[in-house]
Amino acid sequence: MERFQKLLEDPHKYAKEWKEKTGGKVMGYFCPYIPEELVYAAGALPVRVLSEPDADGISYRYLYATFCPKSRGVLAQGLNGTYSYLDGISHAQCCEGMSGAYSSWRLHIPHEHEWFVSMPSDLDNPWALTALRSEMSALKKDLEKWTGKTITEEALDHAIEVYNTSRSLMRQVYELRRAANPKVTGAEAFEMVLSSQIMDKEEHNKLLKDAISKLSGREKRDDNGVRLMMLGSDCDFGDATLTRLIESMGATIVIDRLCNGSNYFWNNVIPQEDRLLAITQRYWDKPRCAVKDETFRRRVVDVIGLAIDYNVQGVIYNVHRFCTPNHADRPPIIEALKKRFIHFHDLEHDGTFPMGDLQSRIETFIDVIRK
Amino acid sequence: MLIQRPEKRWETRPLECWNKAKELRKQFYQKESTAKETNTFIIGGGDSLGMGMMVGMPVCHFIHPNPLAAEMVNASDSFPRECRAAFEAKGYGHDWCGYMASYLGSMMLNRSFRGGEFPRRDISVTGNDLCNFFFKHGQLESEYWDIPMHHEDSMTYYGEPDPERANALVECLVAQNLDLIEFLEKATGKKFDDEAYVESFKRGRRTGVLRAEVIETLQNIPAPLDEKSGYSLFTLGGLVGSDPEQTEKLWEMIRDEMRWRAENQIAAVATERYRFKDGFPPPWYCLNYYRYMEEYGAVCVSVNYGGTGGLEEQPDGSYKLPKNPVERFENIKTREDAVRAQLSGWRNFMAGGLPNPEGNSERLLKWIKAFKCDGVILQLQRNGIGCVDKEREETIRMVEEGIPVMNWETSHAGSRTDFDENRMFDQLDTFMESQGLRKLVD
Amino acid sequence: MTVEYWKWPEEEGTSTGVDCKKASVITAGVDIGAVSTNAAIMSDGELAAYSIIRTEADSGASAQKAMDKALKAAGLEMGQVRSIISTGYGRANASFASKNKTEIPCHVRGAFYMYGPTIRTILDIGGQDTKAIKCDEYGDVKFFQMNDKCASGAGRQIETFADMVAVPIQDIGPLSLEVDEDPEPVSSTCVTYANSMALQLMRKEPRNRVLASYCFSIAWRDYILVNRLANLSGDGTVEKDLAITGGVAKNKGIVSRIERELGIEALPLKKGDPQIAGAVGAAILAAEMVA
């Protein structure tokens, strides 16, 4: 399991080596509503732009203080050259924070290719689905022009298969966490998901299969502590620090509904004749994040369902400061948790994790659950 | 020079259209307060089709949260504060948009700032591209009242104009808006009056032209209208939907008055010697900041609710009305024609509704040149990210172009918390002094 | 001589009628906070003595100093104490402690003892953070909320303000009440904004009105926090009885405004000092460990 953590220690190493080895193009993306299968089918490597706290404040010149730490961290990574190996950059319409970061990124950090997916927010609307399907066609043409490669049906089928395999394997890992004594910790699972977002999934799938086969022989832990769920804004700043910290205090995070966690892989592409429609449908049907759950609320039901399935005792609702959509969803989710007597605690952070403060809160929260 | 006296005094007069404008605004609010008696459906929110919807469906009265919240904070400090506290106490973040927090808090307290209970909403409509908060508020509203909700998307992209791509996105919006009409029919049990809507759409185009003609006059020195007055006027026919026929007549009146003022050098500010543009939205709780600037002979030549809508850029950098601005709409016959025309014209598909620092900065520079501005004041709002998604980049661009620019930090326009009036005025003093100006003394 | 208006008085106290020499079990608690370090000595479950000092750069040394003062006040030596629990942010640095415990449950136990077992809502306004806690009839934590990421509503803010307005910190509360009507509060979001606004206000408002506005802003923030606790943990009703602890609980100007906005009178203190709830609670939990 340590190899996934190791991959994240230098999250750029793989992509750089891949580029050198294959001569291929690397496309960074901000939001997982980007149809990665299309990019992959074009022969490019999609990698997620991970955020790190903007300690130097380099992003403040371009983004005012009320942008969330994640958007700020992403832009800072671009400005300081960390992602200079990217050939292209892409984003899908989501929250204003990330859209702001993208708009400044594309202005100040030129790439040979950029693409913005007009991802609708009314995901109950059939015309919006049609519009998204047309976006896929436009993106396909654009990718072909950029890479000089025709995206064939075979290439699409292959990409769909690779991605579906990745998702199915991650679902297997997450299924193991339903057990009373899960053999994989939340931090480990999170590292597996996160590392899949920075490398070729075909290779990552091999690592996953190997890790899963070894998990069955793993010894059970004596005390898994209380069973927790993570919700809210992305909690990565490139690694599983927060998850690990929480788990060190007498808990196991058994499930999450995070953008860069379970949301990322939860559902597969269901193959159909119109491959682009199949891919469109997959992203359409993905568990909704806060910013895309704007009409008939599905997220609450989804979260409660997961909490029941995974026998969750408590939920940590972790929100970045200035994360609009997650702040908006917090009260209705909390109301639903209350009705089911599931404990919860809301955390807010600005990209830094003051240990003393966090420890006090989490320990007390765990104590309350235990009682 | 410590003492400065006005070098020139323009003639100035109160606006003749002012009382008529007040009357129309009052009419709009009366519709809300008499909704029960008149069996009117109060609709929280707004959509792309604007006033046309109310004409086609007169039983519906749209109330947009933003002007309501702006009025709240303008009228009182303590009441919006209590509203926001009630909202925050429910678990919503402190960083919520001030408009929405004030509006939704007022709803949760069941108190209207005009006295009495908060008028119940019957339907919630959220639309177009304002911001995440605006989108999300519709959900909260519809759940709170347990009312139907309709949602219109914001479909746009960055990059070079791509007609095929744009067309696909427009089709989605057209379909959603046609669906909105059917949705309102189901929700109200009334039939939509297509003929009235088409007529209203054309009237709306004509009104739009009148508004553009008013904006055109602001290029004049002295400016015939200042921004503070402009805000009160420019909501009419947009965010504040009063009777369309009267609204069109009012705009004719305003247009004629502004043209006359421009031709006869009647100024909004008698001592005009400095012209500036400011950001949006302004501090609704401290609109006297415009009057404060007038003490320096500075006039805000900016119509943030109008932009340069309907005007075309000329080779010399000025803005003028295009030829035949309304004739192309004369062939609009059906509901769909009107919806399609409204959306195709309205949407700017170069990242309309998205942060677009490049495009916004270009537009700002053009405005400054055309409207002969000497400087720019851009506020940085501590809440409501949608209101501050481009200001930093615009500031950088202004500095690069050598345009005097000032930033000042404030709480959100819809929230007076964190607003330090004294500090703001100190900053304005410093900025004006950097421009070589002192307050004028007679 | 430079006057340090922010410097609140350090103190020690003893309880009358509590004879440590006759005690079977002596336990202690030390609460090492960001602003103050407090120690409490419990003698067979009764508060015998306590101390409150300002936390210095070395929190371990502060813990020792506070403990020494409390022991001296009680007439005891360290060796006579059966068990010590440390709490607060610096709890890991009290080398003499038998164990450390997170401060929220300690505060609840301490408040239970100091205000009475009828309390169900506790608002602890400390030096660097503010907590609103709901407890049950056994003195256990049911739910809690904390201020997010700012010193707003906390004691450090008052310290900076005292120096800024040149008013001794202990006088701010009483003077703030000498106004006919409260002006609008300054910023509740951030200390920097609040102080900046207060400074500007001083240019045109009488001093007491500035103090009133400032105290109101802190009280307003805490009022929202308590309401949020009530909403997220129940039906929105603040469960009585209410206790207000922490150093800022000694500021009558803030406390009375919190009570006014909530429409609830907080329970009066029965034993000790509002600032030592964490230390008292730690000492009580230490006694449970011994038992």
Chain B interface, mutation test: which of A64, A112, A323, most B Cβ atoms within 10 Å? Answer: A64
Q: Which residues of A touch C102 (CB under 8 A)?
A: 359-360, 363-364, 367
The single residue listed with the structure tokens 């399991």 is A1
Chain A interface, mutation test: which of B147, B165, B348, B412, most A Cβ atoms within 10 Å? Answer: B165
Q: Do C102 and A368 touch (CB under 8 A)?
A: no
pLDDT-derived band at C265 (thresholds 50, 70, 90) equals very high
Is the CB of residue C190 less than 8 Å away from at least one CB of chain B?
A: yes
Q: What ipTM does this complex have?
A: 0.91
- Give C193→chain B minimum CA distance, Å: 6
Dihedral sign of CA atoms A81, A82, A87, A89 in order = negative
Mean pLDDT, chain A, whole residue set: 93
DSSP 3-state assignment of A232? strand
pLDDT for B37:
83
Counting as contact any 3 or more CB pairs under 8 A, the partners of A are B, C
Given A107, A127, A348, which is nearest B393 (Cβ)?
Answer: A107
Given C89, C105, C129, which is nearest A364 (Cβ)?
Answer: C105
Residues 168-207 of B with CB under 8 A from A: 168-169, 171-172, 175-176, 179
Given A334, A361, A364, which is nearest C232 (Cβ)?
Answer: A334
Q: Do C149 and A321 touch (CB under 8 A)?
A: yes
pLDDT for B348:
47
Percent share of chain A, pLDDT over 70: 99
* Mean pLDDT value across residues A295-305: 93
Distance CA A357, CA C146 (A): 10
Which of the residue ranges A118-127, A348-357, B201-210, C97-106 has the most confident prediction, judged by mean pLDDT?
Answer: C97-106
Cβ count within 10 A of residue A328: 24
User: B328: which residues sit within 8 A by CB, 6+ positions away?
Assistant: none
Please report, for residues A69, A336, B167, B206, the alpha-carbon distance to residue C287 in angstroms, rounded to integers and kept in the order given: 44, 39, 75, 83
Q: Do C224 and B88 touch (CB under 8 A)?
A: yes
- Give A356→chain C minimum CA distance, Å: 5
Residue B376 half-sphere exposure toward CB, CA atoms < 13 A: 28
Q: Do B381 and A66 touch (CB under 8 A)?
A: yes
Distance CA C222, CA C34 (A): 19
On the question of a cis peptide bond just before residue B281, with omega within 30 degrees of 0, the verdict is yes
Residue B199 domain boundaries: 3-440
| pLDDT tens digits, one per residue of C169-196 | 999 999 999 999 999 999 887 888 888 8
pLDDT for A235:
66
Q: Which residues of C touch A363 (CB under 8 A)?
A: 102
A315 neighbors A337 (Cβ within 8 angstroms)? yes
Give the pLDDT of chain B (442 residues) as one tens digit per residue.
567 888 889 999 999 999 988 888 888 777 777 888 888 888 888 766 666 777 888 888 888 888 888 889 988 989 999 999 999 999 998 888 888 999 999 999 999 988 899 988 999 988 765 688 888 888 899 999 999 999 888 788 887 788 888 888 888 988 998 999 999 999 999 999 999 999 888 888 888 889 899 999 999 999 999 999 988 888 777 766 677 888 889 999 999 999 999 999 999 999 999 999 998 888 888 989 999 999 999 999 977 776 667 788 899 989 988 887 777 777 888 999 988 888 775 454 444 556 778 888 998 999 999 999 999 999 888 877 888 888 999 999 999 999 999 999 887 776 777 788 888 899 999 999 999 999 998 7
Q: Do B420 and C232 touch (CB under 8 A)?
A: no
pLDDT for B350:
47
* Mean pLDDT value across residues C112-124: 97
The two structure tokens encoding residue A149: 């490669």
Is the CB of residue B123 less than 8 Å away from at least one CB of chain A?
A: no
Is the CB of residue B77 less than 8 Å away from at least one CB of chain C?
A: yes
Share in percent of chain A as helix, strand, coil (round to 5)? 50, 10, 35
- Give B404→chain A minimum CA distance, Å: 17
Burial class (CB in 10 A: 0-12, 13-18, 19+), A21: exposed
* DSSP classification of residue A357: H
Q: Do A116 and B158 touch (CB under 8 A)?
A: yes
Q: Which residues of B touch A295 (CB under 8 A)?
A: 139, 149, 151
Q: Do C102 and A357 touch (CB under 8 A)?
A: no
**Total domain count, chain B:** 1
Distance CA B376, CA B369 (A): 12
Dihedral sign of CA atoms C228, C234, C238, C243 in order = negative
User: C255: which residues sit within 8 A by CB, 6+ positions away?
Assistant: C173, C219, C244, C249, C266
Please report, for residues A79, A291, B45, B48, B126, the alpha-carbon distance to residue B64 in angstroms, rounded to integers and kept in the order given: 39, 21, 4, 12, 9
Q: In terms of CA atoms, which chain B residue is nearest residue A97?
A: B385
Q: For residues A129 and A220, which has the higher predicted lDDT (pLDDT)?
A: A129
Is the CB of residue B420 less than 8 Å away from at least one CB of chain C?
A: yes
Q: Do C89 and A356 touch (CB under 8 A)?
A: yes
Strands B319-320 and B298-300: unpaired
- Give A321→chain B minimum CA distance, Å: 8
The two structure tokens encoding residue B57: 């469906």
pLDDT for B33:
78
User: C284: which residues sit within 8 A by CB, 6+ positions away?
Assistant: C27, C29, C42, C45, C109, C110, C113
| pLDDT tens digits, one per residue of C57-73 | 999 999 999 999 999 99
Distance CA C154, CA A75 (A): 33
* Mean pLDDT value across residues C131-140: 94
Minimum mean pLDDT range among A248-257, A285-294, B414-423, C85-94: B414-423
Q: Which residues of A touch C144 (CB under 8 A)?
A: 345, 361, 364, 368
C70 neighbors C83 (Cβ within 8 angstroms)? no
B385 neighbors A94 (Cβ within 8 angstroms)? no
Percent share of chain C, pLDDT over 70: 98
Q: Which residues of A touch B153 (CB under 8 A)?
A: 120-122, 125, 128, 131
- Cite the DSSP H helix spans in C82-206: 103-115, 155-165, 169-176, 191-201
Strands B123-126 and A251-257: unpaired
- Give B183→chain C minimum CA distance, Å: 34
Mean pLDDT, chain C, whole residue set: 93
Which of the residue ranges A143-147, A234-238, C201-205 has the most confident prediction, judged by mean pLDDT?
Answer: A143-147
Chain A interface, mutation test: which of C232, C235, C285, most A Cβ atoms within 10 Å? Answer: C232
B297 neighbors B396 (Cβ within 8 angstroms)? no
Q: Do C104 and A360 touch (CB under 8 A)?
A: yes
pTM of the model: 0.92
Is the CB of residue C223 less than 8 Å away from at least one CB of chain B?
A: yes
Q: Do C141 and A361 touch (CB under 8 A)?
A: no
Q: Which residues of B touch C223 (CB under 8 A)?
A: 85
Backbone phi, then psi, for A68, in 5-degree steps? -65, 160
User: What's the first-to-final CA gap in chain C, in angstroms?
Assistant: 52
Is the CB of residue B89 less than 8 Å away from at least one CB of chain C?
A: yes
Cα C219 vs. chain centroid, distance in angstroms? 14
Is the CB of residue A301 less than 8 Å away from at least one CB of chain C?
A: no
Given A61, A122, A135, which is nearest B153 (Cβ)?
Answer: A122
| pLDDT over 80 at A179, yes or no | yes
Given B139, B152, B169, which is nearest A297 (Cβ)?
Answer: B139
pLDDT for B252:
93
- Give C61→chain A minimum CA distance, Å: 18
Burial class (CB in 10 A: 0-12, 13-18, 19+), B268: buried
pLDDT for B239:
66
pLDDT for B414:
67
Distance CA A26, CA A20 (A): 11
Q: Which residues of A touch B399 (CB under 8 A)?
A: none
Q: Do B417 and C232 touch (CB under 8 A)?
A: no
- Give B90→chain C minimum CA distance, Å: 6
Distance CA C191, CA C264 (A): 26
